[in-house]
Amino acid sequence: MLSLFTILRKRLYSAGLKPGDVFLTFDDGPNLVDNVTVSLLNVLHRHDVKAGFCLVGKLIDSHPQVVRRMYHSGHLLINHTYRHRHPMRQSYRVLDGEVAACDEALSRALGIPGYRSLYFRAPYGIVTPAVRRVTRRRKMQQVLLTHYGWDTRVGPGNCKPVVDMMLSSAREKRGGLFVFHDGSLVPSLMPETTWAESPENRVWVPEAVDRIITELKAEGMRFVIPQASHQAAMETQGAAKRAA
């Protein structure tokens, strides 16, 4: 039986990291509600940290200027499908179309004809046979995790324990590959209260990331994009530009 978050790995080297390395990734964006993704990019810029953004095609089409900023700032762009539908409900053919449509949205946003993603993260972190087949055929690498903090279940008023757990995991393992959600596409399991308490309100994420970077840098950890991933992405993007 498939389990949730089959992209989770216990050891740093399984996620392409060395001791002391931290790689931050952000799912389900870009999100301009309350300017969340822009504020997040400002935090990363201030700390000179590069991260990975798992982008949803329909949101790329809505906010191409934000995606261009990510690209030109040196962040890693990761295909997260076009509509963020549950993988268990998608055949190989449907999922392959979703991945292709996301690449087409990236191509439009970046102005790079024929853009092809090298990296993929499955919606909901579920790796089905169709996911494996699509990524294998397209020669895409799945972006793994060493910790999942269930940040989609918390809002601004109760996010501190989730951030504390991420910091604890990084300290225990001396690094890690982590995910936050700057967008909100996962249906909430919590009863709706006010927007200030809603898990769909992601306004707390940039501040949390600021804290994580500040504290872990002070403890000697390095914020990186795994070198092999970054080099391969730059080479592919360069080739696409030359072919344009």
Q: What is the pLDDT of residues 55-69, one digit of tens each?
A: 999 999 999 999 999
Q: Report the alpha-carbon distance of residue 192 to residue 165 in Å, rounded.
A: 24
Residue 160 has pLDDT above 60, yes or no: yes
- If one counts every other C-beta atom within 10 angstroms of the C-beta of residue 42, the result is 13
Q: Distances from the Cα of 73 to the Cαs of 7, 48, 157, 176, in angstroms?
A: 26, 10, 31, 22
State the pLDDT confidence band at 230, using cuts at 50, 70 and 90. Answer: very low
State the pLDDT confidence band at 2, using cuts at 50, 70 and 90. Answer: very low
Domain with residues 13-243, CATH architecture = Alpha-Beta Barrel (3.20)
pLDDT greater at residue 159 or residue 236: 159
Residue 229 has pLDDT above 90, yes or no: no
Residue 243 has pLDDT above 50, yes or no: no
pLDDT of amino acid 1: 38
Residue 218 has pLDDT above 50, yes or no: yes
**Confidence (pTM):** 0.90
- Quick one: which of 110, 220, 107 has its CA closest to 171? 220
pLDDT of amino acid 164: 98
pLDDT of amino acid 107: 98
Residue 82 has pLDDT above 90, yes or no: yes
Half-sphere exposure of 185 (CA within 13 A, CB side): 25
The mean pLDDT of 218-240, rounded to a whole number, is 67
219-222 long-range CB contacts below 8 Å, 24 or more apart?
Answer: 219/171, 220/20, 221/20, 221/21, 221/22, 221/170, 221/174, 221/175, 222/20, 222/21, 222/22
Q: Return the residue matching tokens 């949390």.
A: 208
Q: Report the alpha-carbon distance of residue 81 to residue 95 in Å, rounded.
A: 8
Spatial CB neighbours of 65, under 8 Å, sequence gap ≥ 6 = none
State the pLDDT confidence band at 227, using cuts at 50, 70 and 90. Answer: low
